[in-house]
Chains A and B, each alone.
Chain A
Amino acid sequence: MALLKNVARVCKSKNAGPFELTIDVVFDDAETFRRVKVSGVLSPALFARLYNVPAEHVLFTPYDAAFAFKATLPRLVPAGDFGDTDVYGCQQHAPLLDVDLPI
């Protein structure tokens, strides 16, 4: 087992437009990426649980060419609306850092 923060090269979040948040996890090499992908831990269900949204609202795409996974989901509040805490959406990645990857 390994914590995501110890094996990923990139773990980041950002707006994808004012209404959606997109989260990327990128690995260093094809082999690590393959093992993470095969484990199935990074999935719409995981993002749904961590970000408290229905799994059908998570657009989850592995991107083999970049050794990356991307999940896009609704923002809690549209960017800049009353109650928004993160206009750029770039500090919403932390719940992923301690995800245990069976690799």
Chain B
Amino acid sequence: MSKEIRLLSTSAILGYGFPEASLSAGMARQPHVIGVDGGSVDPGPHYLGSGKPFCSPLAIRRDLRLMLNAAVRGNIPLVIGTSGGAGGEPHLQLVATMAREIAREDGLHFKMALIHAEQDRATVKRLDTVGLAHQPPLTDAVIDRATRIVGMMGPEPFIAALDAGAQVVLAGRSSDPAPWAAAATRAQLPPAPSWYAGKMLECGATPSIPKGHDCLFVTVREDHVECEPLNPARRCTPLSIANHSLHENSSPIHHIEPGGMLDTSECRFDAVTDRAVRISGMRWVPAEQYTVKLEGVELAGYRAICVCGTRDPLLIGRLDDFLSTVRQEVATKAAAFGANPDSYQLGIRVYGRDGVMAAREPMRDAEPHELGFVIEVVAQQSQEIASAVLGMARTNMLHTDFPGRLCREGNMAFPFSPSDIEVGPVYRFSVYHVAKVQDPCALFPIEYETV
């Protein structure tokens, strides 16, 4: 009997939801480990900066309760990467607190490991780093300005936690496939199929059709991986699996991971049944130098926005001139109350023209019958200034005169009262680098507790 490990992922992100029937069907197949990816960098810099979760606590709690019960009653480990959306300390603590509360309410007992991924500034300053995606070298000034920096762990800290007997492993920021690669390599399976399995499991049932937030069951063996969705309404096909290799990677064939590179260029995709696919031929190329990706954000200011629209063809016909007049008015009047033009950024997004693609929009000559606007102000110093400048911009969008104007009572339709929305602090990505490290676990301390 050849060695195999069976892995069950409930969805693409903890809190996206999944059918309970899919989890039950998966548990009936006796997985060795269940888990889920907890987050992503995709929703932007806000979540890492603010410390808030990307999914709602209500939705996270629902998914976590089902998974904790399944794991404890099935006597198997539960692994969660990038807890709470961004994987910083507040995100990890949110999910850990929930796990303790659910355990108390449902009478569950387990050993829990918390793997921390948030990095202090002094540690980051000591690291040997290289910028990713053309980022400039990481200076002390950038590190000092950062609101929060996380390191992205590989499988090694998960392996350490599982080896120490933790049944529930909650980790901060992790490489998406890492918890799964940990489970499979710890079972003595080779890294190539182990990492490939992780690539599939990190997104739940996404590699199946129809795509949706649901559970995926993966069996890892010595030289291949088998994927099958647990909901009978879905199927994995060779094409749906192959397509998933394209997801969110710069290359479809070279997937850079903390300790090496997964090469999928020689992969074969064979249908095992009409809903299960066997993938073979993946290769793992160990890196000469182990690296940990760092992600960090800094405060960019405070934002206020307003949504409005126009149905006036005369205004639409001379929009650029109109917006330019509005900008001049705002600059003068905001300066008069002490907000100089260099203390804020005013954006006027024009939906119906280039609101989605901005400078990359190829259709420059379309003549829409209505246009939507999002007026936006980001002020460096305070919400008060952002809101004040936005108020001035809104008033001038509404009342600024233009040649040939017939709509003399107002230029804009506002869908809401109040029309202005205070969005709060705005963050931007400032750290996107890799650090060379000797010990894959050094940046990721583990705490254990008995729940």
A binding-site residues for B, Cβ under 8 Å:
9-10, 14-20, 22, 24, 26, 28, 50-52, 59, 61, 63, 65-68, 70, 72, 74, 76-83, 85-88, 91-92, 94-95
Contacts A67-B242, A68-B246, A87-B43 supplied; 12 other A-B pairs, CB < 8 Å = A15-B42, A17-B133, A26-B246, A52-B360, A61-B251, A65-B245, A70-B251, A76-B358, A80-B427, A80-B429, A81-B428, A82-B378
Nearest chain B CB to A93 CB, angstrom units:
10
Contacts of A79 in B (CB 8 A): 41-42, 44-45, 429
Interface residue from B266, B269, B432 paired with A19 (Cβ < 8 Å): B432
What are 19 contact pairs spanning A and B, CB under 8 A?
A18-B45, A18-B133, A19-B133, A22-B249, A61-B253, A63-B252, A66-B245, A68-B243, A70-B251, A74-B134, A76-B359, A79-B42, A80-B427, A82-B347, A82-B426, A83-B358, A87-B44, A91-B356, A95-B357
Contacts of B44 in A (CB 8 A): 18, 79-80, 87
Contacts of B269 in A (CB 8 A): 65
Contacts of A18 in B (CB 8 A): 41, 44-45, 133, 429, 432
Residues B279-304 near A (CB distance < 8 A): 300
Q: Are B41 and A17 in contact (CB under 8 A)?
A: yes
Contacts of B426 in A (CB 8 A): 82
Q: Are A74 and B242 in contact (CB under 8 A)?
A: no
Q: Are A50 and B362 in contact (CB under 8 A)?
A: yes
Interface residue from A10, A28, A78 paired with B429 (Cβ < 8 Å): A78
Contacts of A81 in B (CB 8 A): 300, 428-429
Q: Are B43 and A16 in contact (CB under 8 A)?
A: no
A to B contact number (C-beta, < 8 Å): 133
Contacts of A59 in B (CB 8 A): 250-251
In this complex, the member of B239, B265, B268, B269 whose beta carbon has the largest number of chain A beta carbons within 10 angstroms is B239
B413 at the interface (CB under 8 A from A): no
Interface residue from A65, A68, A94 paired with B265 (Cβ < 8 Å): A65
Residues B331-389 near A (CB distance < 8 A): 345, 347, 349, 355-360, 362, 378
Contacts of B356 in A (CB 8 A): 85-86, 91-92
Q: Are A51 and B360 in contact (CB under 8 A)?
A: yes
Q: Are A82 and B300 in contact (CB under 8 A)?
A: yes
B56 at the interface (CB under 8 A from A): no
Interface residue from A14, A67, A92 paired with B248 (Cβ < 8 Å): A14
